[in-house]
Amino acid sequence: MLPDTLKFPSGRTVKRLKQDAKALAKKEQIPLHVALDTVAEENGSLNGWKNAIKTLQKTYPVKSINTPKTNMNPYRKLVTLALNKAIESGKISLNWDNKERQESGYLITSIAGENTVINWSDASFGEIRISVWWNYDHNQHPQANMRAPYKECFQTSLPLAKRQRYKEFVGIVCSAWIERDSGRHIQGYGNESIFDRYTRKGELQKVKVLPNPEPLGFEIEGKFFM
């Protein structure tokens, strides 16, 4: 529906011209559609009321009813995107059989068009620590080519470099716990339980505007277990 606040070339709004047309129709005893055409022409549209409205409709921005939501906590959004990637690639399973086993690894992939490192390690009772290094540039990592144990091997929640050097090679770093025993969810709510966080200036806004991802078989929030 066209808003009544849109204006004709004369500066008068659609609402005011409708009122003018009704007054004119009553005064001159003419049909309303004739009065509408008259006031349209008097206010700068020479092709009548209907054509004037069509022209205004073309200039009116129509909001899509399918505009994706972007309101998820940005760190939790990244963790969700990362966990989805790990599940899709078969690296992490949400199924846990109550048997303790060593589950750890890493995956280098792309999330929202940016190079990303995902690494994980099991804790106990089916919990997994998952970490995301988003907008990561390995060539700029100061410890990319060092010898062990100083060489970056993607095994820890934080990169193997001094924190003041992070801005040189990574945009956002964050970690969370994945619950698989009492349910399947990322532990905590909002920023709660998202740990080992680092954010380079300007990077968080890039994640905020990303559409909320659809989690693959898990909840994006849930109880945190100490």
Evaluate if residue 126 carries a pLDDT over 50.
Answer: yes
Closest alpha carbon to 92 in 179, 9, 161, 190: 179
> 170 pLDDT exceeds 90?
yes
Does residue 1 surpass a pLDDT of 60?
A: no
Q: Which residues in 113-145 are b (16+ Cβ under 10 Å) and which e?
A: ebbbbbbbbbeeebbbbbbbbbbbeeeebbbee
* Interval 112-125 mean pLDDT: 92
pLDDT digits (tens, 9 = 90+) for 44-99: 887 888 888 888 777 665 554 566 788 999 999 999 999 999 999 999 999 887 77
Please, which residues bridge with residue 17 across strands?
Answer: none
For residue 67, the model assigns a pLDDT of 61
Average pLDDT over residues 175-198: 94
Taking the C-alpha atoms of residue 83 and residue 213, their distance in angstroms, rounded to an integer, is 11
pTM of the model: 0.70
Tell me which of 1-10, 76-85, 98-107, 164-173 is least confident: 1-10
Which residues share a beta bridge with 177? 129
